[in-house]
Amino acid sequence: MSITPWCLFGALSFAAIAHAAQDKLPGEQVYARCAACHALAYDRVGPHHCGLLDRRAGTVPGFAYSAAMKNSGLTWDEKTLDRFLAQPMKVLPGTTMTYDGIPDSKERSDLIAYLKHANDSPECRASGAPPH
C-alpha cells in the first residue's frame, strides 16, 4: 500500500495543528474571559496580572481599588485565587469586580497555572513584575 501525497499532506497538517494546540495552555483560553477587564502587563478596568501571585490584594500602585479589596487582607496565592475566582462577589462583598466567577474547578486550576506561567513570560518580564 502506498501513501498518496494528499494523504501525507493531510497527516502532516493534522500533526502541525495538534502540535500548535499543545503550545497553548488550557488556562490561556480561560484567561480570554478576563481580558475584557484585565491584561497581563498593564492596568485596564481591572489591575494587571503580572506579579499577581504572592501580591497583597489591592496594592498595585496607582490603581483605584474598592475599599473592600484594599482592606481585604488577602494575599494572592493558589488557594485564595481559587476561592475568590469561584465566587468573587460572595468571597469579597463590596468588590467592584462584578464577574460572576468560574464555577468549574478545573478551569480555575488551569487559569491559575496560566497566571503562574505567564508571570515568567517576556511580556511580564518587560513590565518589571517580579519573577515567580
Residue 78, helix vs strand vs coil: helix
User: Cα 19 to chain center, whole Å?
Assistant: 22
- Closest C-alpha to 78, from 47, 113, 29, 44: 113
- Closest C-alpha to 84, from 70, 69, 71: 69
| pTM (2 d.p.) | 0.78
What pLDDT was estimated at residue 119? Answer: 87
pLDDT per residue over 21-33, tens digit each?
A: 446 689 999 999 9
Q: In angstroms, rounded to a whole number, what is the distance separating the alpha carbons of residues 128 and 125?
A: 5
Count of Cβ atoms closer than 10 Å to residue 123 Cβ: 14
